[in-house]
Structure 1
């Protein structure tokens, strides 16, 4: 009752506080939709990721065309991500101490160069399996170095309080490209060959180089670990991640789901050709279906409040969805049903990937951001790489649909374990709530 008279009889003291109520929505709109920095970054990323998905489907199709082997197809796909597992943490330390703008420009130019080499070899008819292995590994090394740089760029472009929306919209952009890129790539490969697909990807890096050169970087929000040696800084980051319960849980779940879930998605060329006999156009449709599910997932994530615990719960929901989609794919006798199940799987895998990334971004200490996010990229992309190779070898020895069923069961077990752990943490928090309130 005391609150009401204050607001009516003393309007002047309340006047400065009234604008603060609508301010968050206005500030969010300015930060995400009107801020020059973020719009430039989003447009540049959109162009680059379109080319990335076009090249990705070209690499998978070329590997399958050259070898007819699920193992080699999985290995070539894995080489695009395996370096993140082994070198990602080191690149994360470097991301905490290098000039983000200059490094991002150099890495994008390096990736464009590799794509131009792929284009030249394809047009010359000189592409061989050893060339593919070497160039896929080169692209993987550059990409694993770029990932912690890219993840560290978002916080220095937008304010921390709007980071969850920034990550969600960037992920939606990425997954819209995942929707469009494979379909475009399938048409390009069928019409002009893989060389044209590699050329489009090479050109797509150039707009991003321009964007990074003109965007404003807020150095005051950039990580700073220059005072520590590389090994000591790496140990600090690892210790922080291991001893932080939420970070440890999120990293474990994203790693396992990437290993047995996303790794399976890397074998879509085998499903398209060996199981359903639909060729490269069928592969493009299946990849685009996964993109539709991913876009729906990122749209859902963009509506979630900036709360790390909520995003952690979403990763578990996503794991359940991916498990159902993957298990169903292992039984599907019809191509059309398989496309729908891949969309469900894409929804779930994206909820795990983007949800875990956002939960970490909202939790991690800014001084350790590059290192912790490199652990996320190492577990996510490294798990995808190792999973693609492992599942490809298993599928080579048996039936790929049996492998998909096994993957679905394993993801379901991981989701149940994550749900049980979350329940235990919640129960523990409820028991300790009175004591924590007393301390406050």
Structure 2
């Protein structure tokens, strides 16, 4: 951490950020509880890696198609009202899923439909959520605000699956869905209290949707660092995070450890993610520093997944999944923070929607494809192939960064 950063007042003195972080902490706990409940229920109903991967993917697939369009709206609508409405709708779908579960009417068809609805709502919320942090804190605190918000998300990823596993084992999946539905309510209340200052360019509301979307695409593709981060996040999401969506298959199919093992593996990934975001919070606040962290994270996660291919012991697998979680979070948060620091405010919603589309859309594609491969192959071999591809991509990225930083690079004016 730089001397300038050390001298700044703590970001936790900012009332807006503390309120936002508190509301997000509660809602994301519920999100991970529901996520593990849906994955376990899909596996229990079907015993199929393909269906488990597909239902997980449907939470993210709409982001690939609809995320950029919602990004245009994020640059022109009232962020507060949009966040409240979307979270209320997400709470409603969770209550509905709870009712189906308690009544014993949950089927694969219902799960596919609800997962798709949640995916559409999440794709609408993501560019709004990514635009909220810069609208709540000043630019000098932006990198720390983004990393602490991500740390909070990944801490929930550590605690939520463990809670979900206990709730499912001692009660049922319906109770897990009920906890998620209730968890949205504090965030809705918080959004009524925080002060939001969002910049809107004078031309933003006047441009047609597709023209505004084209403006954002040209801007993103025209900036080398932004283009590189979008590409890296997409590749890693497909073969990295897509692999983590198959943890129920690992827990039951590879190690015969049941829902308790699923909770342990998911919590290990979350623990690695929390440590990663802590390291990221100490990173120098400039886009290129976070770009380097993202590439190193890709190398670590790829190595961990490659090692899973040869791992016969569950306890060692937990450690390797934790290391993968560390590296994948470094890619996700590093690329996101690099973009947040580099992007123009009037285009933030659109550019960050491209990031969410490549990241979450990649997870959707990866979860489906890797699930299908694992249906006819050993899950360990799938993990090994994914890890090898990530390592190769990371090495190429490291080589390109070293060339750009070499003595022949042109000085910045």
Give the Cα–Cα distance (whole angstroms) in 1 for the partners of residues 121 and 28 of structure 2: 15
Residue 190 of structure 1 corresponds to 169
Give the Cα–Cα distance (whole angstroms) in 2 for the partners of residues 223 and 395 of structure 1: 48
Report matched runs for 1:21-170 at 5 Å: 25=6, 27-29=8-10, 32-170=11-149
2:410 partner SS: helix
Contact 2:56 2:364 in 1 (8 A): yes
Within the alignment, does 1:251 sit opposite 2:230 as a pair?
yes
Residue 307 of structure 2 corresponds to 328
Residue 410 of structure 2 corresponds to 432
**Structure 2: which 5+ runs fail to align?**
none
Contact 2:23 2:187 in 1 (8 A): yes
User: How many correspondences in the alignment?
Assistant: 411
Give the Cα–Cα distance (whole angstroms) in 1 for the partners of residues 232 and 5 of structure 2: 33
Shift of 1:417: 1.3
1:214 partner SS: coil
Give the Cα–Cα distance (whole angstroms) in 2 for the partners of residues 61 and 137 of structure 1: 17
Within the alignment, does 1:262 sit opposite 2:271 as a pair?
no
Give the Cα–Cα distance (whole angstroms) in 2 for the partners of residues 401 and 33 of structure 1: 43
Give the Cα–Cα distance (whole angstroms) in 2 for the partners of residues 50 and 125 of structure 1: 25
Residue 378 of structure 1 corresponds to 357
Contact 1:92 1:373 in 2 (8 A): yes
Within the alignment, does 1:204 sit opposite 2:183 as a pair?
yes
Residue 348 of structure 2 corresponds to 369
Stretches of 4+ aligned residues off by more than 2 angstroms = 22-28, 221-224, 429-433
1:227 partner SS: coil
Within the alignment, does 1:313 sit opposite 2:292 as a pair?
yes
Cα 1:277–1:425 change in 2 (3 A) is same
Residue 151 of structure 2 corresponds to 172
Shift of 1:159: 0.4
Give the Cα–Cα distance (whole angstroms) in 2 for the partners of residues 179 and 151 of structure 1: 21
Name the TM-score, length of structure 2 as normaliser.
0.97
Give the Cα–Cα distance (whole angstroms) in 1 for the partners of residues 96 and 163 of structure 2: 21
Residue 274 of structure 1 corresponds to 253
Give the Cα–Cα distance (whole angstroms) in 2 for the partners of residues 156 and 338 of structure 1: 40
Give the Cα–Cα distance (whole angstroms) in 2 for the partners of residues 67 and 39 of structure 1: 42
Give the Cα–Cα distance (whole angstroms) in 2 for the partners of residues 384 and 33 of structure 1: 32
Give the Cα–Cα distance (whole angstroms) in 2 for the partners of residues 222 and 124 of structure 1: 47
Shift of 1:431: 3.9
Give the Cα–Cα distance (whole angstroms) in 2 for the partners of residues 218 and 315 of structure 1: 29
Shift of 1:223: 6.0
The one of 336, 342, 348 equivalent to 1:357 is 336
Contact 2:86 2:121 in 1 (8 A): yes
Report matched runs for 1:395-406 at 5 Å: 395-406=374-385
Contact 1:223 1:369 in 2 (8 A): no
Partner deviation per Cα, 1:322-375 (whole Å, 9 max, x = no partner): 011111112110100100000000000000000000000000011100000000
Computed over aligned residues only, the root mean square deviation of the Cα atoms, in angstroms, reads 1.4
Residue 228 of structure 1 corresponds to 207
Name the TM-score, length of structure 1 as normaliser.
0.91
Contact 2:76 2:200 in 1 (8 A): no
